[in-house]
Structure 1
């Protein structure tokens, strides 16, 4: 907490009422008071944590899935990943999701980056792992998850972001973290 002019800069929550509570999200309205005394209602969405993986091969290509996102009404490249089951280890979830969605089993996983996608409205911890290599296990990817699987050259990632074919927060955070590691010579 920081203090300026004798006032704390912390918002006060006077209450929160649930609007909808489903398997994958809780939508509520919070009664919020700003440090200057202004009060308003803020929508809050609480979503289970998610984990994903940037699988990088020896040729500096990233394993991605091509899928349609109906809310944005567009086809996009995304890193494989998904919601954690209750009490599931994030790294185990991330590895499971890669295999289910792509048919590849990630190897040599390590933490890459963690983020909140919309910290002012959504409470959802996300973590992205880096896997150096993967083994094809021959399982058929779920048709509901991806139309196709692709190994995208890391050198093409910025262009995919510029043309709008990579727009998801998790994919963007993970791929930008990879580009930083590459620029610092740590890949």
Structure 2
């Protein structure tokens, strides 16, 4: 099978900082059609599905102004440049919720929107967590709650969970055999 690729003729950086790189790329399709594509590159993110012995998931309730909606999400965030991804995922759990994961195992890695966005997403599974003295960042969540895994899946169906990482993680966790 012959594989054809797009030809890149040039790239122009529109804006760049430590959180995002926005550029336009001039490309040519195999059939000769040329156009300009916006490309967004963002740092790797690490999220954690913390699952306790009762098969409850640790979720945060927060407002996402970009979609102007209150949603439930997993804790997570950017991985610092040289930081180990699992360490970053565990750090984010503790900073955002006050719970420290007891274990970390890689669950799934994916790209959320490969047509325009390059942002690797890594989801970890933590089995159990210990409550710490860390006060969760008030800017991160309005509420933190343990939710039964089956109920979390129902929350997806009701539109209360819409973020790709949380949806992927919950469905992946449901598929795991105990």
> TM-score category by the smaller chain?
over 0.9
The equivalent residue for 1:60 is 55
Deviations 1:52-84 (A, max 9, x none): 100000000000111000011010000000001
2:54 matches 1:51: no
Give 4+ residue runs of structure 1 displaced > 6 Å after superposition.
none
Secondary structure, aligned partner of 2:80: coil
Secondary structure, aligned partner of 2:150: helix
Q: CA deviation at 1:138?
A: 2.3
CA distance in 2, matches of 1:11, 1:100: 42
CA distance in 1, matches of 2:154, 2:30: 42
The equivalent residue for 1:142 is 137
The equivalent residue for 2:167 is 172
2:7 matches 1:17: no
Aligned counterpart for 1:26 among listed residues 21, 27, 32: 21
CA distance in 2, matches of 1:82, 1:40: 33
Secondary structure, aligned partner of 2:165: helix
The equivalent residue for 1:93 is 88
TM-score, with length taken from structure 1? 0.93
Unaligned 5+ segments in structure 1 are none
Unaligned 5+ segments in structure 2 are none
CA distance in 2, matches of 1:16, 1:162: 40
2:74 matches 1:70: no
